[in-house]
Amino acid sequence: MSSDAWIALCRAADLLDGGDAVPFDVSYAGQTCRAFAIRYQGIVHAYLNRCSHVAMELDFQPNRVFDSAGQWLICASHGAAYQPETGACAGGPCRGGLIKIELREVQAVVEWQTAYNLKPLDF
């Protein structure tokens, strides 16, 4: 598989602005990791589900990574806040930002892009 392959993830309609994330598993730097896709201000984004403060998943309930207003990605364990459009630290005990995964929407399907250190689990 080339480093720029695109993998189908979900229907575009599955991602609502500020709503639940769509989780998926990846191999990142040789480790199995959970990732998530979201929609924010109409645009889809994806990140490894790993807080930069402590390597724990952000979800406070399954697939809930947004704050109650749908404006920030929040780590439920320590309160670190991240910008949904970039993954950059926006407050709290962050040590850098979230690791971004490239997404695109093609004919109502959301796809994620592989990279040299990011592969599907069955690779």
**Residue 1: per-residue pLDDT:** 47
Contact 119, 1 (CB under 8 A): yes
| Exposure string for 53-76, b = 16+ CB within 10 A, e = fewer | beeebbbeeeeebbeeeeebbbbe
Name the average pLDDT for the chain.
92
Which residues are within 8 A (CB) of 122 and not within 5 positions of it... i.e. 6 or more apart?
A: none
Contact 87, 76 (CB under 8 A): no
Contact 73, 48 (CB under 8 A): no
Q: Is residue 35 over pLDDT 50?
A: yes
Complete domains list, the chain, with CATH: 6-120 (2.102.10.10)
**Residue 54: per-residue pLDDT:** 76
Q: Is residue 121 over pLDDT 80?
A: yes
**Residue 123: per-residue pLDDT:** 60
Q: Residue 115 corresponds to which tokens in the numbers above?
A: 């990279």
Which residues are within 8 A (CB) of 10 and not within 5 positions of it... i.e. 6 or more apart?
A: 22, 37, 109, 110
pLDDT digits (tens, 9 = 90+) for 51-109: 887 778 998 789 999 999 999 999 988 889 999 999 999 998 888 899 999 999 999 99
Q: Is residue 111 over pLDDT 90?
A: yes
Contact 105, 63 (CB under 8 A): no
